[in-house]
């Protein structure tokens, strides 16, 4: 195979098992949205469940239904609150609602389907994205309880999401925890009896134990990634290795311009190797010139502009050959770059790197029968 993203399912299972141990007493939700953070949604979901995850989390309704169609019966929370929820209701998906209007949409879908919908009410405690503001929260709770009284809805969860949990010590963390406690108190005083309350994401669960409540939503940590400074703790293993094989090798003289714009020109006679991955595959154009490629036992910079489908490495006098393996990122066992390093070098996060790997790069899934 000339290029592939190798996904170690055994590492997902081991990561989730370690996370379950860390937050013992709270259930674990493994987020498998965005095609399992680029790792493959269904295989990642099965591997996470094998590690002890009690729940799976997705972003949209199509992802949720796809898990059911794959035969996965574990509880699934769909975390975004728009679109027609009818099919998700029929597939026993837990839905999020942060407005009275969406509570009504879920109730209407449940009535049409003839089933009771499961609903997690979302409070906006400071992210200012989805969820009900403190002013709107009592109305959302009232609407949900009215629907529950009619038998069409069951309020199964209360939840929120942090804005700055990956910035340890940020004052908003404490403020959001207090706001969420207030929201829970308002809902429970009104008569909500949730199965789970949850606000902690990966960063919060790792650094703010009091945020764990009944359920913890782990995203990047499932895949050995984190947005915390320095990345994930060492006991979590990065799951994906992105690699390719040199498609062409050629010897060129000094003064040879390389790739679009000739932004790189060879300083002497040298060997160039062609890697069949480009920005259409998720290799950022901004990686030009950075030592983010591992081959023949050492790091190499990308020579010149990253193209849509390929990029070039200047190997100097190294005896590179067609078919030699090139690793862009992996767990770092052999000195290769990690997704964390790619993110830091490009001013972004490891999640951006992993989820950006394009669909035409085959995912292979050794490490488990999932």
Residues acting as catalytic residues: 33, 260
Contacts of 257 (CB under 8 A, 6+ apart): 264, 265, 304
Give the C-alpha separation, 267 to 257, whole Å.
10
The number of C-alpha atoms within 13 Å of 125 and in the hemisphere containing its C-beta is 28
Of the candidates 162, 164, 286, 161, which has an alpha carbon nearest to the alpha carbon of residue 229? 164
CB atoms within 10 A of CB 164: 17
Query: Is 264 in a helix, a strand, or coil?
Result: strand
Please give the Cα distance from 157 to 208 (Å, whole number). Answer: 21
Crossing angle between the packed helical segments 41-50 and 61-69, to the nearest 10 degrees: 70
CA distance to 164, 212, 213, 231, 311, per residue, from 206 (Å): 13, 9, 13, 11, 37
Report the relative pairing of strands 55-58 and 76-78 from DSSP bridges: parallel
- How do beta strands 363-364 and 55-58 pair? unpaired
Tokens read off for 179: 């706001």
Task: Identify the bridge partners of residue 153 per DSSP, sorted by sequence position.
Answer: 117
Q: How buried is residue 229: exposed, middle or buried, by Cβ count under 10 Å (0-12/13-18/19+)?
A: exposed
């Amino acid at each position: 195979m000339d290029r592939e993203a190798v996904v170690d399912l055994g590492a997902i299972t081991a990561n989730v098992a370690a996370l379950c141990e860390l937050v013992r007493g709270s259930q674990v939700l493994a987020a498998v949205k965005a095609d399992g953070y680029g790792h493959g949604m269904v295989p990642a979901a099965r591997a996470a469940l094998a590690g002890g995850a009690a729940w799976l989390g997705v972003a949209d309704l199509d992802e949720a239904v796809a898990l059911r169609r794959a035969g996965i019966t574990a509880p699934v929370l769909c975390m975004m609150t728009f679109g027609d929820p009818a099919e998700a209701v029929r597939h026993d998906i837990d839905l999020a609602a942060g407005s009275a209007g969406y509570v009504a949409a879920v109730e209407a879908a449940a009535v049409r389907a003839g089933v009771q919908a499961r609903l997690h009410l979302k409070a906006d405690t400071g992210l200012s994205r989805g969820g009900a503001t403190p002013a709107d929260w009592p109305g959302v709770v009232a609407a949900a309880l009215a629907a529950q009284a009619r038998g069409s809805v069951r309020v199964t969860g209360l939840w929120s999401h942090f804005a700055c949990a990956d910035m340890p010590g940020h004052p908003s963390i404490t403020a959001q925890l207090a706001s969420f406690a207030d929201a829970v108190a308002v809902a429970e005083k009104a008569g909500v009896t949730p199965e789970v309350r949850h606000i902690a994401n990966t960063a919060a669960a790792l650094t703010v134990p009091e945020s764990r409540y009944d359920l913890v939503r782990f995203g990047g940590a499932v895949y050995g990634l984190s947005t915390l400074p320095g990345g994930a703790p060492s006991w979590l293993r990065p799951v994906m290795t992105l690699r390719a094989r040199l498609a062409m090798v050629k010897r060129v003289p000094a003064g040879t311009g390389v790739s679009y714009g000739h932004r790189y020109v060879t300083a002497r006679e040298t060997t160039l190797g062609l890697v069949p991955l480009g920005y259409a595959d998720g290799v950022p154009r901004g990686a030009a010139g950075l030592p983010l490629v591992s081959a023949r036992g050492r790091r190499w910079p990308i020579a010149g502009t990253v193209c849509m489908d390929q990029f070039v490495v200047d190997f100097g006098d190294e005896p590179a050959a067609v078919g030699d393996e090139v690793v862009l990122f992996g767990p770092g066992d052999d000195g290769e770059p990690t997704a964390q390093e790619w993110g830091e070098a490009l001013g972004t996060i490891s999640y951006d790197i992993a989820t950006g790997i394009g669909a035409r790069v085959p995912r292979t899934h050794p490490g488990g029968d999932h």
